Amino acid sequence: MAHTHTAHGSHHDHEHGEVDFDATESPKVKDLLKTFQLPIVAFLMLSTGIALDFSTLHVWKSTEILRFSWYLSAYLLIGFPVLRAAYQGIRKGEVFSEFFLMSIATIGAFAIREYPEGVAVMLFYAVGEVFQDMAVSRASLNIRGLLDQRPDEVTLIQGDANQRIKAENATIDDIILVRQGEKVGLDGEMLSAQGVFDTSALTGESVPRNIKTSEKVLAGMINVQNPVRIKVSATYQDSKLSQIIELVRNASSEKAPTELFIRKFAKVYTPIVVYAAIAICFLPYFFVENYVFQDWLYRSLIFLVVSCPCALVISIPLGYFGGIGAASKNGILVKGGNYLDTLSHLEHVVLDKTGTLTEGVFEVQEVYFDDRYNKTELLSWVNALESHSTHPIATAIHRYAGPVINSPDWQSIEEIPGHGLKGKIAGKELLVGNFKLLDKFSIQYEAKLQENVFTTLAIAYDQNFVGYITIADKIKNDAAFAIQALDKLKVKTTMLSGDKNSVVQEVAKTLGISQAYGDLLPDEKVEKLRTLKQDKTTAFVGDGINDAPVIALSDVGIAMGGLGSDGTIESANVVIQDDKPSKIPLSIFIGKATKRIVWQNIIIAFAVKIFVLGLGTIGLATMWQAVIADVGVALIAILNAIRIQQIDFKKKLKNI
């Protein structure tokens, strides 16, 4: 009885839209007999009772108390948790629950001496509850299995000795050894020269990733080659994977409009059903000539059983949770069912360029300085000034010029958003940024320089234009496919970027993006998105925390989270873990599939219930048929909801 109560109690939580991510047991074949122990005993008692009803055994048929006691024992064995849940609900003021419906329907069946049907209703309801609980546990554990790939122990390097310790006991700056085939237990910095890792637990992609000295290694990655040493940079609780698991765990609290509607609907629907059942029982007395109370009571009980809303209140949250799990399986974090709903009817996707559609890995193409200046000195100053910026362009300059060894004695350094950097050295001003920066300080330069297709870093010193550095960025391999897929999904695309307009237009032309705008400052991006959005459901896709204002303005913010952008994971509604643009249409595709399955469940449940309700009201349906209609529809809805995690969305997306 304890296990059965657990199942019912769990479902009572699901009725309110909560999915228990922390389920710790997964139903296995060896556990099935234990799981269904009480339902099996109740079923055997019910079968025995029905067999005796059809037998010629005089003692059974002549002693009503014996027959009643037998069926009552079977009923209480399986139905006590439901009766208790109904009682507790009434005490809390929650009278009209599915537990209340089941209780009055089955007690009513006993009142008119339809004992087998009363037991059968409760038995099939309890079996349905167990299946529902198993389905929710499976969905929860599937997601945990996909995400939490961390080993419980790590190998700590202490001098010449190695020691196995619990991962949660490791501290920052500890050095751990990860052997070939082992999973990384903690986030850290690569100390070895190079390593090759399977990142599928984090990104959904099985393509190995090369990681070099000083680069980040994250918990959940699998070392596929030689042993490597890693310096721990975050505790077990603060790892990237812990953040991801927490986000998915909390995702079920963000309800989709459909889910919220069904919850509100159930609160109104259930009392209406109870009052309608009372009307079915008593109103015919005034209109029917040969009114038989027992017949109309029986019809009202059938009405109550069929109208139980359990198929809706469990399958809909489970459908959205399944969609979140399917997205996680493909390396996409969706922070709630409401965002899946928004993705399903997106009309416009607005994209950033650098780091979203392009690699964000800039390479220096050309360096030009006026012959009147010391080129080596100027380049070292530019490199030193850029060391105060985190922009990918600064990284490209460092790769080209080398590390800053002796930084100049700067008198002041200022970053001008959307323009570049300004620094004062030896009493003279050095400007490094776009041509807008030079315009801002009235620096003269040749206008034709702005026609360069490459990104151009303009440099001015002591109020004079002294040269430029051109930098190119590579378009991501799957960017063109992403735009084509969005087009097939009837989603309009626009690109907004702070980069040079000529560069932006070239990238847009290459990818087939319908409209693009360059040379935009952060506040101009916000205004442009506000104009583009209008009445269309719009998503903005960006690659960092700098895009937070436009992400906040959009209906759903999608971030290229990569393997290290904590700020992006926090600010966005949807996070693409491997930075692949092709995951944008994939997330929309998953959203559409989830909503389709949810509405299938709603339509199937209502259609079957309305049909059987009609038959029951006019006396053409039995309690047995009512049970099959209720439990059968619930199980169909649950199976339909969980199948979303078995769909190969990548394959389907390629075939649209």
**Structural domains of the chain, ranges and CATH numbers in brackets:** 2-145+249-324+591-654 (no CATH), 153-235 (2.70.150.10), 332-359+475-588 (3.40.50.1000), 363-472 (3.40.1110.10)
Q: 617 pLDDT exceeds 80? A: no
Are 153 and 203 contacting, i.e. CB atoms less than 8 angstroms apart? no
Place of tokens 């949810």: 598
pLDDT of residue 10: 39
pLDDT of residue 221: 84
| Residue 473, phi then psi, degrees to nearest 5 | -120, 145
Q: Is 478 a catalytic residue?
A: no
Of 28-37, 120-129, 274-283, least confident by mean pLDDT is 28-37
Dig out the tokens for 228 from the structure.
């490597």
Distance of CA 108 to the CA centre of its chain: 44
Between the two ends of the chain, the Cα-to-Cα distance in Å is 50
| Angstrom distance (rounded) from CA 393 to CA 434 | 11
Mean pLDDT, range 605-632, rounded to an integer: 80
Are 109 and 118 contacting, i.e. CB atoms less than 8 angstroms apart? yes
Q: 48 pLDDT exceeds 90? A: yes
Are 573 and 335 contacting, i.e. CB atoms less than 8 angstroms apart? yes
- Structure confidence by residue, pLDDT tens digits, 385-429: 998 887 778 888 988 998 887 778 888 899 888 889 999 988 899
- Structure confidence by residue, pLDDT tens digits, 537-575: 999 998 755 676 788 788 998 988 764 455 556 668 888
Residues in CB range of 90: below 8 A, 6 or more apart? 100
Catalytic residue among 133, 352, 555, 630: 352
Prediction pTM value:
0.67
Helices and strands, number each (H, E), in the chain: 24, 22
- Closest C-alpha to 110, from 382, 294, 353: 294
Polymer length in residues for the chain: 656
Complete DSSP assignment for 550-592: HHHHSSEEEEE-TTT-HHHHHH-SEEETT--TTHHHHHHHHHH
For residues 427-464, one letter each, b for 16 or more C-beta atoms within 10 angstroms of the residue's C-beta and e for the rest, the string is eebbbbbbbbbbeeeebebeeeeeeeebbbbbbbbeee
Q: In what order do the strands lie in the sheet with 515-517?
A: 332-334, 574-576, 556-560, 538-542, 348-351, 492-496, 515-517
